[in-house]
Amino acid sequence: MNAAVWLSGVRKIYPEKGGYLAMTGQFKGKVALVTGAGAGIGRASTIAFAKEGASVVVGDVATESGNETAEMIKKNGGEAIFVKTDVSRANDVEMLVKNTVASYGRLDYAINNAGVEGKTATIADYAEQDWDRIIDINLKGVWLCMKYEIPAMLKHGGGAIVNVASIAGVVGFQGMPAYTASKFGVIGLTKVAALDYARANIRVNSVSPGIIHTAMVDRLVATNPEMEPSLVARTPMGRMAQPEEIASVIVWLCSDAASFVTGHNMVADGAYTAQ
Query: Do the Cβ atoms of 154 and 200 come closer than 8 Å?
Result: yes
C-alpha span between 265 and 206 (Å, rounded): 5
**Other residues' Cβ atoms within 10 Å of the Cβ of residue 150:** 21
C-alpha span between 11 and 18 (Å, rounded): 6
Q: Cα 212–217–222 angle (5° rounding)?
A: 150
Query: Do the Cβ atoms of 106 and 156 come closer than 8 Å?
Result: yes
Query: Do the Cβ atoms of 127 and 135 come closer than 8 Å?
Result: no
Which listed residue (14, 104, 126, 179) is catalytic? 179
Query: Do the Cβ atoms of 243 and 250 come closer than 8 Å?
Result: no
The 3-state DSSP class for residue 126 equals coil
179 is catalytic: yes
Residues with active-site annotation: 179
